Structure 1
Amino acid sequence: MKKILIIIAREYITRVRKRSFIIMSIIGPLLFAAMMIIPAWLAQVEDTDIKRIAVVDSSYLFQNVIPETEYLKFDYLGNVSLSSLKENFSDLGYFGILFIAPVVTYDPNAVILYSDKQPNLATRMHISKYLEEYIRDEKLKTYNIENLDEILKSVKTQINVRTIKLTPGGIEKESNTGIMMAVGYVSGFLMYMFLLFLGTQVMRGVMEEKTSRIVEIIISSVKPFQLMMGKIVGIAFVGLTQLLIWIVSTFILVSVAQTLFFPEFRLTPTEQVISQDVMSASPVEDQPMDTSQEIEELKSALGTLKNIDFLVMIGSFLFYFLGGYFLYASLFAAVGSAVDSETDTQQFVFPILIPLILGLIVLVNAINNPGSSVAYWFSIIPLTSPVVMMARIPFGVPIPEVVLSAFLLILFFLASTWLAGKIYRTGILMYGKKITYKELWKWLKY
């Protein structure tokens, strides 16, 4: 045990002092922070972009129907030549031309927005919304129904379906499928990334020592199995350290950038237009109801977060991470010991990656239907359970299923470590030979 601890310490200290570790610890947070800060900055820049649109209404029905916003301005030009306007609208300071054909009341494709730039979704939504409402109102007026506006307002109904989960003990807990799906997907995807990233690090570490012949000196003092386990655990600590640095540094960078450059959240043009459309969709007297419903939905989401047992989530994540990591790391270590170059690893790595990729594919099915037979079996099979089970746990998994999954994962981890150790002790000192699956089978028999 003492020798394994020495190898762990050596592996950890050597790797965290490498220039590549230091560079990636700096570049990683900068890249992650940039991915969050740059879109926010671009959104803020977009706030100052005012679009003027020339309206050519051949139907003569929509004069001043489309309201202006802070970012959208409409000029109704009346009788003008559309073809000539197309040639010089940009020189006149217009973002585009909105042409409304006379057949607009019965042809949904009779409205065209010409522009030399791509209009955003909010602009199209704003225009179509008010044109549709005006046409609808005009058609309803032809029925000559008294107090039609009041009737339409009175029949408008909003329903918010709450979901309550009944536990075996009869306790009712607020649930929210969207929140559960998000937590499950993030947990499963993080598990996939951790296992893949750290597993390949183990394989490359073993290959580096083998190709540099350092391992020949180390093997004279420790057993191959001790060297393999020390390397696996040491690299795990290195990977976790770097991930922790990335998370903390990214959080600090984003927080500082938000404080310095984005002290207040402002609405982008898209949000501003959509917000105005939502507010105008209902009369003033209906707005308190909409606001209260939004508050209730927010309370429901917060209640769902409170009902998620994060201690169970964290404990499950740590268990399945450790079990999955040791399982895959031992297999990757065996591959690294059996080959002389990274090119030779492809034929052996692909079968190891297949279960991980399958787990990622089934992850989507598991968050949509956590009780399905596909999600069940893939959360039991050890090679896929670390990814798929993490997607099911937020929804609640029966204890017998968790116990069975954990037992098989531990059993499979011990078996894979034992088999990998047999390959490792033979392959680590073998050079210049093209290894095949038949050769690996012979090593397992030694």
Structure 2
Amino acid sequence: MLIYGSQVMRGVMQEKTSKIVEILVSSVRPFHLMMGKILGIAAVGLTQFVLWIVLTVSIISFVAPMITDGGVEDMAAAQSELAQSPEAQNELLAAIDEVVNNINIPLLVGSFFFYFLAGYLFYAALFAMIGAVVDSEADTQQFMLPIMLPLIASMMFLGVIIKDPSGPIAFWMSIIPFFSPIIMMIRIPFDVPLWELALSMFLMVAGFIGTTWMAGRVYRIGILMHGAKVNYKVIFKWLMMKN
């Protein structure tokens, strides 16, 4: 999300600084121009993920038949000789095997594509808004931090979520759109209730609609502004302006 969102921001800045956007907006509405860039990069990202999945499955399908039962037994024997506590290792392997067997693979894959796309659209709209209000990449720092903090917090809380996937912290972070693309994907293998998943998805879609509305109102003004120093007060003023 961060990588593809940054591509959206840089693309918007490049069009703005090169004055190309002034030609484009003469034939297309600014909102449509912004959404075209966001959806175009989303298509590229999904294509890359599909190619990675196909390549991974192909490699596994090719390598798996080459691993014989004897080879697996030899590796298991070597590991057992090196292991200091075989009982603890067996318990750990049994626990991992139980978790893996209980994973709903179709749900996991479907949720992955949903949260990747929805999370990308959510954050890409914010990145497009940043690209529209600045004239250079150096000016983006003051606006980037509030967007990156939720992603950083999600990574910091991974240990807490894995330790207690049904706790209140896991629940609230998995339904708040700023955190849910990462946190909910961590919770799904632990048999998250379907109503929580549905609520998280609904709020994710609502969040995307909200950020897109905000970005659209700022984009239509900021994309044509050059040389002006923009701060949060100015952005709020643009949001409140009537059409």
TM-score bin, normalised by smaller chain: 0.7 to 0.9
Residues in 2 aligned to 1:197 and 1:375: alpha-carbon distance in whole angstroms: 25
Partner residue, 2:236: 441
Partner residue, 1:334: 129
Indicate yes or no: 2:35 matched with 1:240.
Answer: no
Indicate yes or no: 2:16 matched with 1:210.
Answer: yes
Residues in 1 aligned to 2:115 and 2:46: alpha-carbon distance in whole angstroms: 15
CA contact under 8 A between 1:338 and 1:424: conserved in structure 2?
yes
Residues in 2 aligned to 1:249 and 1:378: alpha-carbon distance in whole angstroms: 33
SS at structure 2 position matched to 1:430: coil
1:43-82 alpha-carbon deviations (Å, 9 max, x no partner)? xxxxxxxxxxxxxxxxxxxxxxxxxxxxxxxxxxxxxxxx
Alignment gaps of 5+ in structure 1 = 1-194, 258-263, 283-289
Residues in 1 aligned to 2:186 and 2:180: alpha-carbon distance in whole angstroms: 10
Partner residue, 1:151: none
Instruction: After TM superposition, list the pairs within 5 Å mapping 1:12-23 onto structure 2.
Output: none
Match of 1:306 among 84, 96, 101: 101
Task: Check 1:247–1:409 CA distance in 2 against 1; reply closer, same or farther (3 A cut).
Answer: closer
1:304 Cα deviation from its structure 2 partner = 4.2
1:321 Cα deviation from its structure 2 partner = 1.8
Partner residue, 1:95: none
1:160-200 alpha-carbon deviations (Å, 9 max, x no partner)? xxxxxxxxxxxxxxxxxxxxxxxxxxxxxxxxxxx111111
SS at structure 1 position matched to 2:129: helix
Match of 1:406 among 201, 206, 216: 201
Task: Check 1:299–1:391 CA distance in 2 against 1; reply closer, same or farther (3 A cut).
Answer: closer
Flag as ranges the 4+ runs of structure 1 deviating above 6 A: 250-257, 296-300
Which structure has the highest strand share of the two? 1
Residues in 1 aligned to 2:127 and 2:141: alpha-carbon distance in whole angstroms: 11
* AA at the equivalent of 1:363: L
* AA at the equivalent of 1:230: G
1:61-113 alpha-carbon deviations (Å, 9 max, x no partner)? xxxxxxxxxxxxxxxxxxxxxxxxxxxxxxxxxxxxxxxxxxxxxxxxxxxxx
* AA at the equivalent of 1:350: L
Partner residue, 2:149: 354
Paired residues, number: 235
Partner residue, 1:419: 214
Q: What is the aligned-residue RMSD (CA, Å)?
A: 3.4
SS at structure 1 position matched to 2:170: helix
Residues in 2 aligned to 1:228 and 1:391: alpha-carbon distance in whole angstroms: 31
Alignment gaps of 5+ in structure 2 = 64-70
Match of 1:390 among 163, 185, 198: 185
Which structure has the highest helix share of the two? 2
Partner residue, 1:369: 164
Instruction: After TM superposition, list the pairs within 5 Å mapping 1:162-241 onto structure 2.
Output: 195-241=1-47
- Identity percentage of aligned residues: 51
CA contact under 8 A between 2:5 and 2:124: conserved in structure 1?
yes
1:359 Cα deviation from its structure 2 partner = 1.4
Residues in 2 aligned to 1:422 and 1:407: alpha-carbon distance in whole angstroms: 23
SS at structure 1 position matched to 2:157: helix
Task: Check 1:379–1:278 CA distance in 2 against 1; reply closer, same or farther (3 A cut).
Answer: closer
What TM-score, normalized by structure 1, do the two folds share?
0.47
